Chain A
């Protein structure tokens, strides 16, 4: 298991208002995972009894490393450079792995490929080529173009092939079954995880790919011509090893355009929000969490290198007598200690309840002018009912509408104006009560800046 260093860069943005945003950015070694967590919406301002929304974005900023070999630079009739058999220790079982002229891959214009032929009929797979130039790998994928010259040929892709002949395999055979198997082999036991099928014909090129991610469990995915044909999960946890190719005994299969991508994924990731007292969880955009005490926790599993996602969590602020400091963070299960993440701390500012609409209960909007992303409409409900807020552009064309079910008293409605063009707009507040009454107010001007 690779050791990873954990590092933090911490900085503060301190603002005049006393509001601050505390972010920690992680550094990571080469091929290391780094989960960056940010808050995408502004720091919320808590109104007593009203929802508080947190929008978080995260991504694994690790950069995948790709290694390619199209065999064009190799000498025909020799072992291709950067490759060894059986991890370099079992060359005696192979009679021929040679670069062949005159065969093209499907995706590049070269005229050389590699053919692997083994001299005896061991089964299921005896002849293996390790692509040592790609380095030892943990998460990622190997892809190759493959060509079956003869009926009944069988071959495969391997991942994490160590010196003890342990590896994950994607095997495929041209025959009556056209089987595709995902296999985990650990110290001899050969465990077939799943079997699928695809049409594999002789005399045609196919692009096949095996992707492996995770520590325990480990996820395996098989592709043919870009389509997922099989997936499997196994608790057989293998350490780092080489990617490579394999050929069943007596087969003479041709490979080209081998591409290895080392993708430092983050495994066993949990997203945790340390809700402070006074804030209560309401809902989220990624389903129901499990609770560790009062803290909601979401098990996100694997976050693939380069991937990004967002989480929205809605809470309720119980009162307006205090400010809330909320921190969201990641826990990473594996590789142990290998993932850096940056918790986001958000100070929710408690502000006084807006002044009542006046005079004559005339609603108002704030801020005005506004540069967004939202504006608040304040009005006084004479009873429970629904508030309709409508906004028209300067020509009287509807720009936005909003409706809220509200109870009696001074209430607010929030309109997102991020997409509004700068200029002047007219808005009108229409309060319709459950009792049947209605308060419709004269239009007013809302100014939007950019």
Chain B
């Protein structure tokens, strides 16, 4: 909804003279104008999905889905599957916003995302320079954003987004361009650090853009195979204006049910009475659909309520290069060597499912990576009994008996006729309990 105006102005000639000369000075009081007034196209609290807002907008260091487009385009590098999402934002004073976005992995290019943005400013009470009513008017903005993120080094991604906008203020039409840049670093499994600068551009009608420098960190904790906790912290600063700090928590159960809470603390007196800055949200995943909701308290100004509906398409199959000692299937015959001394090309295809990849990692001794891979796989297929079994076996081998038992119980739950496993689990628990 932020806009970067460059302007094409449509103004009746008479108003140029009429307006400045017919202004009344009635009651003169103590007036304060902040730096935010002179900045065009503010971003905060406007862009993003219900998940982002539910996390208190502390998303720059999370940036793990298509909505990275609004906070840190570097996060688009990690898109695993195509998705399409519709966001509705019921905003202040009867205004509302609709965002249609889509993102998808693009192989070696990283990830791409696009969004269409529509803002309706509600019914504007038109008044002339004498205060006479001139009826009502509906203003609206439209925008289009394209973003790209790519992992350039192991764990290090960078991204760029470009935005074209058309903003209408009754008699004036503004068309503009803006750019966002961001980087994302994953120093260790579960940890992410992000920095971005949003709304980079030239001035609009003499007013600078409301740029936004963001920085944040997040940590995804797998407390047990069924429950993950995402913590996020961030801060942002608008040059020439103000800054905020954000914090968010997201708890996910069984990869299906999610609760979120967040808080945005401004480093200035925003003069909004009542509870403000607090956010709360929830989400649920049903097959390929994810429904999220967020509520942002705006004190006496009202609230912002956001609903997002996301559909994720099937994961694409991934081709991974592996050493020849992996069990592989030859999909192309070795060409006959007409001259034995020449090299030949051999192409292999392996199964790309998490189970095969995890087993390969186990053989490499990368047990933690294998555990994470199984867990990620279970997020998408929570009823995959083979993944549960692989995870259980790995916990068992790794000495994590509590998690092992829990995973074996999930296997039995999904495969109740496996009497042998039931018997073994009883014995295993007994041995465990006796120790």
Contact = CB atoms under 8 A, between A and B. Distances in A.
A53 B27 CA distance: 11
A278 interface: no
Interface in B113-139: 121-122, 124-133, 139
Nearest to A397: B36
B335 interface: no
Interface string B256-267: 000000000010
A437 to B, nearest CB: 16
Contact of A422 (B130, B133, B207): B207
Given A366-B127, A445-B124, A421 B37 contact: yes
B401 to A, nearest CB: 51
A442 B122 CA distance: 14
B18 A17 contact: yes
Which of B124, B126, B127, B172 has its CB near the most chain A CB atoms (within 10 A)?
B127
A374 interface: yes
Contact of B205 (A50, A396, A422, A442): A422
B205 A450 contact: yes
Which of B32, B36, B38, B171 has its CB near the most chain A CB atoms (within 10 A)?
B36
A398 B36 CA distance: 7
Contacts of A404: 27-29
B25 A422 contact: no
B83 interface: no
B30 A402 contact: yes
A422 B169 contact: yes
Interface stretch (A40-48, A87-95, A194-202, A325-333): A40-48
A372 B129 CA distance: 10
Interface in B1-40: 1-3, 5, 7, 9, 11, 14-15, 17-34, 36-40
Contacts of A402: 29-32
A425 to B, nearest CB: 8
Contacts of B171: 369, 449
A419 B37 contact: yes
A445 B127 contact: no
A413 interface: yes
Size class of the A contact interface (CB-based, 8 Å) = 35 or more
Contacts of B9: 450
Contacts of B40: 421-423
B15 A371 contact: yes
B24 A371 contact: no
B209 to A, nearest CB: 9
A227 to B, nearest CB: 37
B41 interface: yes
Contact of A421 (B18, B20, B30, B38): B38
Contacts of A397: 34, 36, 42, 44, 238, 241-242, 266, 270
A395 B205 CA distance: 20
Given A45-B23, A351-B24, A373-B23, A398 B132 contact: no
B93 A445 contact: yes
A366 B128 CA distance: 6
Contacts of A450: 7, 9, 172, 205-207
A396 B172 contact: no
A52 B25 contact: yes
B159 to A, nearest CB: 22
Size class of the B contact interface (CB-based, 8 Å) = 35 or more
B121 A374 contact: no
B132 A355 contact: yes
Contacts of B139: 424, 445, 447
B22 A447 contact: no
Nearest to A418: B33
Interface stretch (B60-68, B283-291, B295-303): B295-303
B421 interface: no
Contact of A390 (B38, B268, B271, B302): B271
A368 B136 CA distance: 10
Interface in A396-434: 396-406, 411-417, 419-424, 426, 428
A368 B93 contact: no
Contact of B21 (A15, A354, A372, A376): A15
Given A423-B3, A423-B41, A376 B272 contact: no
Given A442-B93, A442-B302, A50 B174 contact: no
A157 interface: no
A440 interface: yes
A387 B121 CA distance: 26
Contacts of A443: 92-93, 301-302
Interface string B97-120: 000000000000000000000000
B409 interface: no
Contact of B28 (A394, A414, A421): A414
A170 interface: no
Contacts, number: 247
Given A21-B21, A448-B169, A416 B31 contact: yes
A393 interface: yes
A424 B169 CA distance: 7
Which of A396, A399, A406, A444 has its CB near the most chain B CB atoms (within 10 A)?
A396
Contacts of A124: none
Nearest to B37: A399
Contacts of A52: 25
A368 B126 contact: yes
A420 B41 CA distance: 11
B315 interface: no
B269 interface: yes
B179 interface: no
A393 B24 CA distance: 24
A309 interface: no
Contact of A399 (B19, B33, B132, B300): B33
A48 B279 CA distance: 48
A21 B22 CA distance: 12
Which of A16, A403, A444 has its CB near the most chain B CB atoms (within 10 A)?
A444
A409 B172 CA distance: 35
B170 interface: yes
B37 A420 contact: yes
A367 interface: yes
Contacts of A415: 31
Contacts of A42: 20-23
Contacts of A424: 95, 121, 139, 169
A53 to B, nearest CB: 5
Given A368-B125, A376-B24, A402-B31, A394 B131 contact: no
B2 A50 contact: no
Nearest to A440: B300
Contact of B23 (A374, A421, A428, A447): A374
Contact of B130 (A366, A400, A411): A366
Which of A354, A404, A423 has its CB near the most chain B CB atoms (within 10 A)?
A423
Interface in A309-354: 349, 351-352, 354
Interface of A: 13, 15-17, 19, 21, 42-47, 50-53, 349, 351-352, 354-355, 364-374, 376, 378, 387, 390-406, 411-417, 419-424, 426, 428, 440, 442-445, 447-450
Given A368-B127, A449-B171, 6 more contacts: A16-B17, A42-B22, A53-B28, A390-B271, A398-B34, A424-B121
Nearest first, the 3 A-B pairs at minimum CB distance are A421-B207, A354-B131, A366-B127
Interface of B: 1-3, 5, 7, 9, 11, 14-15, 17-34, 36-46, 92-93, 95, 121-122, 124-133, 139, 167, 169-172, 174, 204-207, 210, 238, 241-242, 266, 268-272, 298, 300-302
